[in-house]
Structure formats: C-alpha cells, structure tokens
C-alpha cells in the first residue's frame, strides 16, 4: 500500500517536471517560417500571465505582433516598424520601384509639350521685331507735301500715256459741244494732266514719299505712331484686299492713295474719315474702307475724263 503511494507521488512529480520543461522549450524555441513577399517571419512565443489571462505575442523579425493577431508583413502596416533589410526584400516595394522608372503616357505627353514650348521660346530670340518702341517712326506727310513732290518730279514719260478726255466723233461731238457741261478753264488744264499722270504712277518702294504716304494712311486710321511692315495682313485691317496695297491701285495708280491721304490728313475731314472707318468695321455693315476710297477716285477720274468737271 505504502509503495503504491510513493510510486504515484513519483509519477506526479515526473509529469510536473515534464510540463515545466515543455514550457521552457516553448519560451526558448524560436520558429522560423517563410512569410509573404519573401519576408522571413521569426516567431518567438512570449507569454505573460496577467490576472489569469495570457498575453501571448508572437515576434516577427524582431517586432512583436499585437494580441489581436494581425500580421502586417504584407505591406499594410507602416514600414517604419520593419527593418530596412526586410523592406529591401519586399517584393511589392521592388515592383513599385521598378515600375516607377517607366514614364507613363501622360508624363511622356507633358514632356513633349514642354519641349515644344521650350523650342518655341528659343525661336523667339531669332525673330527680329518689325516695330519697336525705340525705333524712329517715319514722320507723317501732309497732302500738300506729297503733291509738291509730284509737281517737282519729272513725269514726262507718264504724261505721254494719259488720256485726259474722251474722244467723241460725229453727233456725239456736236451734242457735247452744244449741250454738254461747261469746259474746263484753260489754267486748270495743266493740273488736270498732272492728276492723270499721278493716276499712271505705280507705288515705288524706293521712293521715300511713297512709303510715307502709306505709313501716314495706316497710322491715322489705326491711331498708332509706330510704322508697319510694307507687306502683311495688317493692310487688310484698314480696308485693302490683300497684303500689298499696290495691288488694289489698278485704274487709279498712286492717285488712289493721294485721295485717301487727303481724307485722313485734312483736319475738317479726319473726323468723318474715322467715323466711316469705324462703320467699315461693323459686324454686319462692314466694307473695305481703302478700297471704297479707291473706287471713289476711279469715279472722279471718269467724270473728269468726260469733262463733267469744270472747276
């Protein structure tokens, strides 16, 4: 009986020692498992008995995971809590780093637009402005000064080709002599021939007076003091049909510009000229201002040729 009691006591002590060794093994033994994304999970069971409850916290890569058992090794937790060596082995980070080096289509398009804008900006250095504030503008020319230029210029070759009157024969000549308008005074015949000679004169880019007349017409209508280029779409803004005003002077020659020059330089007619010019810019009632003036000159020449003007 006594031997059975001692034998049972020895078995109970043996079982207690076995349990103690198992607990020590659980504490000391470190388990290594391979986690997600190539990270090595180092798990150390840590158990602490507090108020009869176990606070078991497994350790992964030296970081203890909370009691809720969540594992943040897949990248969902802040990487500041993981060692740098572990972050370098993270497959997701390596993928992001590799993908970040390849520019997206949006970035390529933005780079292309930026390069295009840079090239356009660099090209501005090679463009010479036609007009600058520091440049000396061409002085305006009055109608009398332009007229004096033609009066003192040899127009002999042009005078040979003029046709100051209409040649009438037969009954038309008799009817015009008997019932026609009064004839032009003899002292005005020279001026009449000068008018037709100017109408035969083309625009000469070498002549300073010709260029000043063009510049004056443009400046007075637009209201600027700066010169404009000889050719360009800006001439269409003042009522010419193209980029070269000379192409609209067929039938009137330089006389068409002289007519417009008088219109914009005379103090009495300048307000009317500007009002008509504003009307020519109307959205619905627009018309080419300078071409209209040239057509009026053509009508006046025809009336003068028919000897309907006597003053």
Neighbours of 85 (CB within 10 A): 8
Task: Specify the residue for token string 């061409």.
Answer: 138
CA 199 to chain centre: 43
- Residue 38 — pLDDT band, cuts 50, 70, 90? very low
For the ranges 52-66, 107-121, 205-219, 260-274, the lowest mean pLDDT is seen at: 52-66
pLDDT at 25 over 70: no
d(C-alpha 303, C-alpha 173), whole Å: 17
Q: How do the domains of the chain map onto residue ranges?
A: 25-97, 143-305
Mean pLDDT of 282-302: 92
Mean pLDDT of 135-156: 91
Mean pLDDT of 59-88: 50
d(C-alpha 99, C-alpha 96), whole Å: 5
CB distance 202 to 195 below 8 Å = no
pLDDT for the residue numbered 31: 44
pLDDT for the residue numbered 185: 78
Higher confidence at residue 165 or residue 227?
227
For the ranges 54-58, 129-133, 243-247, the lowest mean pLDDT is seen at: 129-133
Q: Is 128 helix (H, G, I), strand (E, B) or coil?
A: coil
- Compute the residue count for the chain: 311
CA 244 to chain centre: 26
Closest CA to 251 of 196, 179, 307, 204: 196
pLDDT at 47 over 50: no
Mean pLDDT for the chain overall: 75
Q: Give the pTM.
A: 0.55
Higher confidence at residue 46 or residue 139?
139
Mean pLDDT of 224-250: 93
d(C-alpha 247, C-alpha 290), whole Å: 12
Show Cβ contacts of residue 55 under 8 Å, excluding neighbours closer than 6 positions. 47, 48, 49, 67
pLDDT at 18 over 70: no
d(C-alpha 79, C-alpha 70), whole Å: 15
Task: Specify the residue for token string 């003192």.
Answer: 152
């Amino acid at each position: 009986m006594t031997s059975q009691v001692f034998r049972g006591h020895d078995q109970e002590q043996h079982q207690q020692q076995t349990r103690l060794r198992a607990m020590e093994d659980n504490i000391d033994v470190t388990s290594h498992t391979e986690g997600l994304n190539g990270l090595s999970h180092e798990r150390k069971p840590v158990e602490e008995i507090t108020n009869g409850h176990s606070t078991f916290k497994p350790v992964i890569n030296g970081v203890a995971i909370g009691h809720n058992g969540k594992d943040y090794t897949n990248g969902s937790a802040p990487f500041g809590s993981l060692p740098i060596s572990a972050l370098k082995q993270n497959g997701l980070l390596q993928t992001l780093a590799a993908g970040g080096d390849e520019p997206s289509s949006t970035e390529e398009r933005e780079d292309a637009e930026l390069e295009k804008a840079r090239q356009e900006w660099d090209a501005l250095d090679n463009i010479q402005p036609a007009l600058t504030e520091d440049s000396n503008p061409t002085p305006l020319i009055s109608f009398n000064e332009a007229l004096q230029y033609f009066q003192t210029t040899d127009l002999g070759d042009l005078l040979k080709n003029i046709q100051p009157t209409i040649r009438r024969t037969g009954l038309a000549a008799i009817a015009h002599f008997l019932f026609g308008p009064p004839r032009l005074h003899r002292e005005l015949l020279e001026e009449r021939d000068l008018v037709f000679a100017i109408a035969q004169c083309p625009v000469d880019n070498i002549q300073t007076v010709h260029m000043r007349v063009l510049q004056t017409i443009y400046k007075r209508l637009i209201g600027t003091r700066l010169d404009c280029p000889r050719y360009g779409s800006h001439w269409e803004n003042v009522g010419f049909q193209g980029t070269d005003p000379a192409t609209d002077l067929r039938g009137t020659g330089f006389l068409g510009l002289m007519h417009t020059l008088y219109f914009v330089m005379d103090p009495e007619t300048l307000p009317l000229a500007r009002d008509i010019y504003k009307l020519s810019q109307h959205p619905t009632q627009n018309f080419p201002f300078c071409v209209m003036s040239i057509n009026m000159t053509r009508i006046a020449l025809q009336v003068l040729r028919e000897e309907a003007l006597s003053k």
